[in-house]
């Protein structure tokens, strides 16, 4: 298959570019706080007898991260009927769920016992793995928003019970919480490369900038010729 030609922008004519008013805004999502919550379940067999029904959960004590209060909710037999036979884990927002919208990333992991070998870490996969590491991102709170976000099929009960994470009838879950803040900032000055992306001509006084814009865009054939030259000679 032939590679796709590079995207090019057709500039407006000089008169239109002169009269047009342009503003550029940047929306940035940055992590403002990260914290760790842990829930230890000791006497798993007894807890399973009490909370082993579908939809029944065990909750950790509340902890603050990023100015908000959170708990871990652990369902030993699934949070919903269709998730029976799986352990469900959710990060729950406790503080003023209707007052504000909170963007947070949560990563759940089963914690190794002392003396057990480390497992290969591979996050973000929907299927179950032996180490039980999972990650997700959710929007919490706000009018009509959810207060809990997580993984309904974190690990199967069968896999947990034969894994190295359950030892002496106990296991532990760690949740890493990262609170993210989204901010919109209007740029004070429009940069030449942003004008180019808008398809507008840059009225720049700087000689280097002028030479950059006066240089014609590379065609598809020129790019292909450079690629062939690189393959044959091993250099550009």
147: left (phi over 0), alpha (psi -120 to 50) or beta: alpha
38 inside domain: yes
8 inside domain: no
2 inside domain: no
Does residue 20 sit in the same domain as residue 36? no
Does residue 38 sit in the same domain as residue 18? no
For residue 83, give its domain range.
Answer: 27-184
Nearest of 70, 66, 82 to residue 108 by alpha carbon: 70
The C-alpha atoms of residue 131 and residue 165 are separated, in whole angstroms, by 8
State the residue for tokens 């992590």.
31
Does residue 131 sit in the same domain as residue 227? no
Tell which of 144, 159, 184 closes a domain.
184
Q: What dihedral angle (degrees, nearest 10) is formed by the CA atoms of 90, 96, 102, 106?
A: -20
Does residue 86 sit in the same domain as residue 147? yes
Give me the tens of pLDDT residue by residue for the chain, a chain 236 residues long: 455 555 454 554 544 444 467 777 878 888 889 999 999 999 999 999 999 999 999 999 999 999 889 999 999 999 999 999 999 999 998 876 556 678 888 889 899 888 776 553 333 333 333 344 555 556 666 555 568 888 899 999 999 999 999 999 999 999 999 988 887 877 777 676 666 666 665 666 555 554 444 445 555 566 666 776 667 665 44
| CATH code of 67's domain | 2.60.210.10
pTM value > 0.75: no
Provide the number of structural domains found in the chain. Answer: 2
45 inside domain: yes
């Amino acid at each position: 298959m032939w590679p796709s030609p590079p995207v090019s922008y057709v500039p407006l004519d000089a008169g239109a570019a002169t009269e047009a008013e342009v503003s550029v805004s940047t929306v940035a999502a940055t992590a403002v706080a990260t914290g760790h919550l842990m829930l230890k379940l000791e006497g798993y067999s007894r807890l399973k007898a009490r909370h082993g029904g579908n939809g029944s959960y065990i909750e950790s004590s509340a902890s603050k991260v990023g100015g908000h209060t959170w708990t871990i909710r652990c369902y030993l037999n699934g949070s919903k009927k269709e998730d029976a036979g799986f352990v469900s884990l959710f990060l729950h927002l406790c503080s003023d769920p209707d007052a504000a919208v909170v963007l947070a990333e949560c990563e759940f992991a089963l914690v190794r016992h002392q003396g057990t070998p480390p497992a290969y870490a591979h996050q973000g996969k929907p299927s179950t793995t032996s180490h039980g590491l999972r990650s997700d991102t959710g929007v919490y709170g706000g009018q009509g928003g959810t207060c809990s976000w997580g993984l309904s099929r974190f690990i199967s009960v069968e896999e947990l019970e034969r894994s190295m994470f359950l030892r002496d009838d106990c296991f532990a879950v760690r949740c890493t919480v990262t609170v993210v803040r989204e901010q919109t900032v209007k740029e004070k000055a429009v940069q030449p490369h942003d004008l180019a992306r808008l398809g507008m001509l840059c009225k720049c006084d700087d000689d280097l900038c002028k030479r950059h814009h006066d240089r014609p865009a590379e065609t598809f054939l020129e790019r292909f010729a450079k690629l062939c030259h690189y393959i044959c000679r091993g250099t550009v």
